[in-house]
DNA sequence: AAGTGGTCTAGACCACGCC
DNA sequence: GCGTGGTCTAGACCACTTA
């Protein structure tokens, strides 16, 4: 039951409740939410209050409204949100074609000195190479506590995304922060990404957290700067 | 007068009209808009329709609502929006301290081959160095058609921002797109930014357009990657 | 006390998708 | 035709700011 609490508006409580249900899988991604009318009956408010609540989720990109159909729970929405800033080339909005992912290595390590949260945590280290049209573009290294990824089968990684695997282990990423820096490739990077020693790369580091604010993945990516570019657009 | 046109919702037309008034200076930045009640009288709609229109501008960052006071027209909001992605260092949210701007050079050039819009346009080329706490951080080169910046006095540049100068010449930037790439510094860059040849930089290229979609500034910035980092945060 | 934005109600009509 | 989301109205009460 949603409390009528004047310290925080009702629509915010409803938005939080619906978000929780999405986390917990009551409203699974790919499915539609109950209609505005049904939700307004359940929460005993008018349709406009429900609309205001749903609008909160819509702005965050958690759901998407389709006239005549309903509210669709989006999958991986936040990962796409991060990716929307990347584009290929400068003016061309090319589509992602023939994406491919090669698993280079996976092993257990005892911890990461440089990351406070992972200093003494047993981790999976997973190295992958991402290609597009057979051109190597991104070199990824993920670190995930083994506790969060107990059922880990190699073939799954080739088909499923890491986030889906985490989901199956009941770990839901709800917040992520990503940092970008320009770097030069190491010898190993040069070989794998097929670039020269003087061609700069983007290095991104992404921290992914669950709803309890625990770090569940650290991902370092090296991205070829000659094929990717980061872009931001602003309109008054 | 706002037409009741069912091809596009009324609130969108009102939002566009108010945006135009902000462009034209009817509602200058730093001032408050007329109240919701007054606007609903003028446009002959209910308060909720006005609120929906104002919400469009609020989401874009054009205006800001303050309970009990009104809607404040923000200044340079889009430039701040671009800047919000930059941060100093990785985890520290340091403030910008002792900012300084050195005018290195300014001259007229006959055009830029690499930019279609500027191939045969007489341009101002303005080179500036930005420092923070006496550390050189950003090397900027701006190209502006001389037609758009007729009254150009050197001392003004030291105090006023380029956008304010353009505004005084009745050129209002309403849209900008910025691209980011990792690059290595040239010899000249190394000297000015005080970095070594193997320390990577961010190169950003920003295109600024006015309301008629004319390119009014091209700005290339070289940013020290060891002091700046780009970051994006996403929340479900 | 008066004016402002923030929230919420109850009801209406429209445009879209599907059967 | 029916259910869905999208828009709009008319009015109420609240919280905040300023005088």
In the complex, which nucleotide's C1' lies nearest to the CA atom of residue B51?
Answer: C5
Q: What is the least distance, in Å, from the CA of B60 to any CA of chain A?
A: 7
Q: What per-residue confidence (pLDDT) applies to B41?
A: 94
The gap between B167 CA and C1 C1' (Å) is 42
The sign of the torsion formed by the CA atoms of A222, A224, A227, A232 equals: positive
Tell me, yes or no, whether A137 lies in a domain. Answer: yes
- Inform me whether the pLDDT recorded for A62 exceeds 90: no
List the domain range (segments joined by +) for residue B49.
Answer: 10-75
Clarify whether residues B63 and B99 are in a common domain: no
Q: What per-residue confidence (pLDDT) applies to A90?
A: 37
- Inform me whether the pLDDT recorded for A180 exceeds 90: no
For chain B (236 residues), the mean pLDDT of every run of 10, in chain order, is: 60 91 84 94 94 91 90 71 51 46 88 86 90 81 89 66 74 77 92 91 86 87 80 60
Q: What is the least distance, in Å, from the CA of A177 to any CA of chain B?
A: 4
- A207 in Cβ contact with A215 (< 8 Å): yes
- A79 in Cβ contact with A93 (< 8 Å): no
The gap between A68 CA and D2 C1' (Å) is 11
In the complex, which nucleotide's C1' lies nearest to the CA atom of residue A68?
Answer: D4
Which of B55, B75, B95 terminates a domain? The answer is B75
Task: Identify which of A105, A117, A98 has the alpha carbon closest to the alpha carbon of residue A210.
Answer: A117
Q: In chain A, which residue's Cα lies nearest the Cα of B198?
A: A184
Could A235 and B174 be called an inter-chain contact, meaning their C-beta atoms sit closer than 8 Å?
yes
Tell me, yes or no, whether B235 lies in a domain. Answer: no
Clarify whether residues A105 and A71 are in a common domain: no
Average pLDDT of the residues of chain A? 80
Kindly report the CATH number assigned to the domain that includes residue A47.
1.10.10.10
**Interacting residues of B6 by C-beta distance below 8 A, sequence separation 6+:** none
CA-based radius of gyration for chain B:
21
Clarify whether residues B133 and B176 are in a common domain: yes
Tell me, yes or no, whether A216 lies in a domain. Answer: yes
Q: What per-residue confidence (pLDDT) applies to B69?
A: 94
The rounded distance, in Å, linking the Cα atoms of B180 and A95 is 19
pLDDT digits 0-9 by tens, B93-141: 334 455 677 888 889 999 888 888 898 899 999 998 888 767 788 899 9
A 110-169: CB under 8 A from B? none
Clarify whether residues B24 and B109 are in a common domain: no
3-state helix, strand, coil in chain A (%, to 5): 30, 35, 35
- B140 in Cβ contact with B130 (< 8 Å): yes
Average pLDDT over every residue of A211-227? 86
Confidence band of A134 (pLDDT split at 50, 70, 90): confident
Clarify whether residues B56 and B105 are in a common domain: no
Q: What per-residue confidence (pLDDT) applies to B193?
A: 93
B137 CB neighbours in chain A (<8 A) are none
Confidence band of A52 (pLDDT split at 50, 70, 90): very high
The rounded distance, in Å, linking the Cα atoms of A157 and A154 is 6
Clarify whether residues B163 and B226 are in a common domain: yes
Range with the largest mean pLDDT of A4-8, A53-57, B57-61, B171-175: A53-57
- A168 in Cβ contact with A151 (< 8 Å): yes
The rounded distance, in Å, linking the Cα atoms of A70 and B4 is 27
Which one is predicted more confidently, B47 or A100? B47
Which of A46, A75, A104 terminates a domain? The answer is A75
Tell me how far the alpha carbon of residue A232 is from its chain's centroid. Answer: 19
Which of A30, A55, A75 terminates a domain? The answer is A75
Nucleic strand D within 7 A of Cβ B36:
no
Kindly report the CATH number assigned to the domain that includes residue A154.
3.40.1410.10
Q: What per-residue confidence (pLDDT) applies to B95?
A: 42
Q: What per-residue confidence (pLDDT) applies to B90?
A: 37
Clarify whether residues A129 and A160 are in a common domain: yes
Clarify whether residues A50 and A99 are in a common domain: no
Q: Which of A59, A90, A178 sits opposite B179 (nearest CB)?
A: A90
Clarify whether residues A49 and A91 are in a common domain: no
Residue B37: beta bridge partners? none
pLDDT digits 0-9 by tens, A10-20: 999 999 899 88
Nucleic strand D within 7 A of Cβ A47:
yes
B5 DSSP 8-state letter: -
In strand D, the nucleotides that come within 7 Å of a protein beta carbon are 3-12, 14-18
**Interacting residues of A32 by C-beta distance below 8 A, sequence separation 6+:** A69, A70, A71, A72, A73
Tell me, yes or no, whether A20 lies in a domain. Answer: yes
Could B232 and A184 be called an inter-chain contact, meaning their C-beta atoms sit closer than 8 Å?
no
The gap between B38 CA and C1 C1' (Å) is 20
Domain count, chain A: 2
Instruction: Using alpha carbons, list the distances in angstroms from residue B26 to A58, A188, B1, B18, B29.
Output: 33, 59, 16, 9, 9
Clarify whether residues B92 and B209 are in a common domain: yes
CA-based radius of gyration for chain A:
21
Clarify whether residues B193 and B210 are in a common domain: yes
Q: What per-residue confidence (pLDDT) applies to B138?
A: 86
Instruction: Provide the total of helices (H) and of strands (E) in chain A, helices listed first.
Output: 7, 10
Token output for B178: 């910025």
Clarify whether residues A47 and A114 are in a common domain: no
Could A233 and B178 be called an inter-chain contact, meaning their C-beta atoms sit closer than 8 Å?
yes
């Amino acid at each position: 039951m949603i409390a009528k609490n004047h310290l925080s508006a009702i629509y915010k409580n409803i938005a939080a409740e619906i978000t929780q249900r999405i986390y917990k899988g009551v409203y699974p991604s790919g499915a539609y939410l109950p209609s505005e009318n049904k939700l307004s009956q359940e929460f005993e408010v008018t349709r406009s209050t429900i609309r205001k609540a749903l609008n909160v989720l819509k702005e965050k990109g958690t759901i998407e409204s389709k006239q005549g159909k309903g509210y669709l729970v989006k999958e991986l929405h936040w990962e796409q949100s991060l990716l929307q800033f990347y584009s290929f080339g400068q003016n061309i909005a090319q589509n992602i074609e023939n994406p491919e992912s090669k698993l280079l290595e996976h092993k257990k390590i005892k911890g990461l000195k440089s990351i406070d949260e992972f200093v003494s945590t047993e981790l999976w280290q997973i190295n992958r190479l991402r290609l597009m049209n057979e051109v190597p573009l991104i070199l990824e290294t993920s670190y995930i506590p083994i506790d969060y990824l107990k059922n880990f089968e190699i073939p799954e990684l080739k088909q499923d995304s890491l986030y889906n695997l985490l989901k199956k282990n009941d770990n839901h990423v709800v917040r992520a922060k990503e940092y970008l820096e320009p770097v030069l490739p190491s010898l190993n990077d040069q070989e794998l990404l097929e670039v020269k020693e003087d061609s700069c790369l983007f290095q991104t580091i992404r921290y992914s957290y669950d709803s309890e604010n625990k770090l569940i993945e650290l991902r370092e990516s090296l991205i070829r700067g000659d094929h990717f570019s980061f872009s931001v657009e602003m309109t008054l």
